[in-house]
Structure 1
Amino acid sequence: MGKTSLIFIGIVACLVSIASATPGIATFYKSYVPSACFGNKPQGNMIAAAGDALWKNGKNCGKTFTVKCTGSPNAVPNPCTGKNVTVKIVDHCPGPGCKSTLDLSQEAFAIIANPVAGIINIDYKKIKVGNAKDEV
């Protein structure tokens, strides 16, 4: 396979990955235990609470998602770092108080955005395990 073909395949793979991401909103929280999924058992700090749209009666407990900041809905200019973060769903962020799709741990939020922003636009994607056909 030629160098041009490999570059083309790489570009297509990146576009497919981006196209399959779902837009949402992220905030962050600081108190991780207890959680709705794991009770008092700590799960580290690369974690998130699922908003009502992702909670699905706990079906996403323990599932992992890749999250990327895409911008800010408020006045904070350029909050995104350009990095992605992978988080595990450990809790529920119920509405109407929770305004986000994913309420990230403060540490996870800081990897993808400046915490001063407080709320960011995101793209997220569930990481599939094996041949699982999970729905977001």
Structure 2
Amino acid sequence: MGANIHQVLLIVGTIICFASVSNAAQGTATFYETPYVPSACNGFEDDGNLIAAASDSIWQNRSACGRYYLVQCIGATNQAPQPCKHTAVEVKIVDYCPPGCRGTINLSKDAFSIIADPRAGRIKVNYTESSNMEKPEKHILRRYGNGKL
């Protein structure tokens, strides 16, 4: 009986992983440093340090404010050595990255440092909207082994 439950959990976990990968979009990420306030979404409200600014492709005329995204580094954008760490980070959109922004999503330096070496400056990422409505102060970190969210 115990073996069957483990097999079912393994199958369900695999399906969930493939579903999140199929919904992931690709883009680039950069980072910005403190101070993280004021922000376009919340003014001088402190939203913590695992936050991001959205470019036009995510921003959608402020409707991105308060949304959470799970972001994973998938590679370098330049000739730098592999900058990625084997983690993903969940960030809250609190600001706007205007035209000319160097990334699809501009992460706080704290968030960027979790998924990549900041010396890279700009990285390729997978990102997917997530739902972190219950505990907005809790951000998810995951280790991955196969390069997929």
2:104 pairs with one of 80, 101, 117: 101
> 1:64 maps to what in 2?
68
Write the letter of the residue equivalent to 1:85.
V
In structure 2, the CA distance between the partners of 1:6 and 1:43, relative to structure 1 (3 Å rule), is closer
Identity of aligned residues (%): 46
Query: What's the counterpart of residue 113 of structure 2?
Result: 110
Matched, 1:32 2:49: no
Matches within 5 A, 1:1-136: 2=4, 3-30=6-33, 31-95=35-99, 97-128=100-131
In the aligned structure 1, how far is the partner of 2:103 from the partner of 2:27?
A: 7
Q: CA deviation at 1:8?
A: 2.8
SS of the residue corresponding to residue 61 of structure 2 reads helix
What secondary structure does 1:44 align onto? coil
Is there any run of 5+ residues in structure 1 with no aligned partner, and where?
131-136
Partner of 1:134: none
What letter matches 2:25 in structure 1? T
* Large movers: runs of 4+ above 3 Å: 3-6
Normalised by the length of structure 2, the TM-score is 0.80
Equivalents in 2 of 1:129, 1:20: separation in Å? Answer: 17
- Which amino acid is 2:19 matched to? V
TM-superposed deviation, 1:128? 3.2
Which segment drifts farther, 66-75 or 5-14? 5-14
Aligned residues: 129
Query: In the aligned structure 2, how far is the partner of 1:9 from the partner of 1:88?
Result: 27
Can you list the C-alpha shifts for 1:87-115, whole angstroms capped at 9, x where unaligned?
111100011x2021100000000000000
